[in-house]
Amino acid sequence: MEKFEMSQELSEYEIKTYLQKIRADYQEHGKLNPKAFDQAAFETRYLQVLRLRGNLTKFFQEEVAFLDQLKAKFNNLVAKKEAAKASTLNRLVDESMEKLVKYPKIDFHPLAKAELRYFYGAIVEFAETELPVILNIFKGTPEYSYLQDPVLVIERLGISRRGMPSLKIQEITKSLLDANGNPIVIEKVSQALLRDGCLALKNITQSVQDLISKNRINPDLMVQVNDRDYPKAFSKYGNKRFGRALEMVTEQCRQIIQDFRMNSLLGMD
Residue 70: CA atoms inside 13 Å, Cβ hemisphere, count?
A: 20
- Residue-averaged pLDDT of the chain: 87
Q: Does 5 have pLDDT greater than 60?
A: no
**pLDDT tens, 215-232?**
999 999 999 999 999 999
User: What is the model's pTM?
Assistant: 0.67
Residue 258: CA atoms inside 13 Å, Cβ hemisphere, count?
A: 9
Give the per-residue pLDDT at 58. Answer: 83
Per-domain residue ranges for the chain? 12-96, 114-259
Mean pLDDT along residues 241-251: 97
Of the candidates 84, 103, 137, 157, the one whose C-alpha atom is nearest the C-alpha of residue 250 is 137
**pLDDT tens, 24-37?**
888 888 888 887 78
Give the per-residue pLDDT at 90. Answer: 59
